[in-house]
Amino acid sequence: MEDKAPVALVTGAAKRIGATIVRRLHANGYRVVVHYSSSYEEANSLVNKLNHSRPNSAISLQGNLCDSSHIDAIAERSVEAWGRLDVLVNNASSFYPTPMGEITEDDWSSLVGSNTKGPLFLSQALVPALQQTGGCIINMVDMHLDRPLPKHSVYLLAKAGLASLTRSMAIELAPQVRINGIAPGAILWPERDMDELAKQRLIDSVPLQQLGSPDDIADALSFLVSASYVTGQIIYVDGGRSLYTSAEI
């Protein structure tokens, strides 16, 4: 039975939302490939815990999704691990402000590389494996697609590209492979410091009046993985925040 268990690759999976997605897929019977860029200790701690609960069910892979040679290696090693791939979750993302007048080519390379280039070329490399299993791709987009976030133009254009890619690939790769997206809202407090006033302003901008949980994202992902008649869709998991028209920093 174990050698027939499905396999999922989750990028940027060492911590935060990515780690929650990995734990959920693992709990649902998947073997998991935990990709990370620099979070070596977190990735290996997660893998060790998962393998302790179910032997030979998790591995970690390091790689830079802005580097084409790394992308190819990640794809190859992910399939080689157990001889198949059923789910690809493009979760890895760089996120930081780029005020107009201060944008550099390094910003472009980092933000577009991690949010658009990486998902595109990793998906392309893994299409043959996903076609063999009738698998699916889940892209992590952003609720600010329709509600621009000031000073984040490069990040948002990269996420807009990923949203467009989600829809176009869904047409091109049907019927063998399904592609959908998730647009998270305020799920976790940013890793940068926020004072209490800023936190309250953020909560006030959410109709459901609370921060979301990584488990909310995992719930949506579990649905999309199992929803065999859904493709080309982007589900907003944002407590209704995207319904407001005014932008919040």
Task: Just list the catalytic residues.
Answer: 155
Query: Please, what is the Cα angle at 58 between 55 and 64, to 5 degrees?
Result: 160
Please state the separation of Cα 192 from the chain's center in Å. 20
- Exposure string of 10-43, with b = 16+ CB inside 10 Å and e = fewer, is bbbbbbbbbbbbbbbbbeeebbbbbbbbebeebb
221 vs 74: CA distance, rounded Å: 22
Residue 193 burial (C-beta neighbours within 10 Å; 0-12, 13-18, 19+): exposed
Two tokens, residue 202: 């953020």
CA dist., res. 186 & res. 239, Å (int): 8
Answer for the pair 112, 154: CB distance below 8 angstroms, yes or no.
yes
- For residue 140, report the phi and psi dihedrals to the nearest 5 degrees: -90, 115
Task: Report the distance separating Cα 220 and Cα 182, nearest Å.
Answer: 7
DSSP type of residue 149: P
Q: Extract the tokens encoding 48.
A: 């060790």
The single-letter code of the amino acid at 202 is L
Beta pairing partners, 235: 182
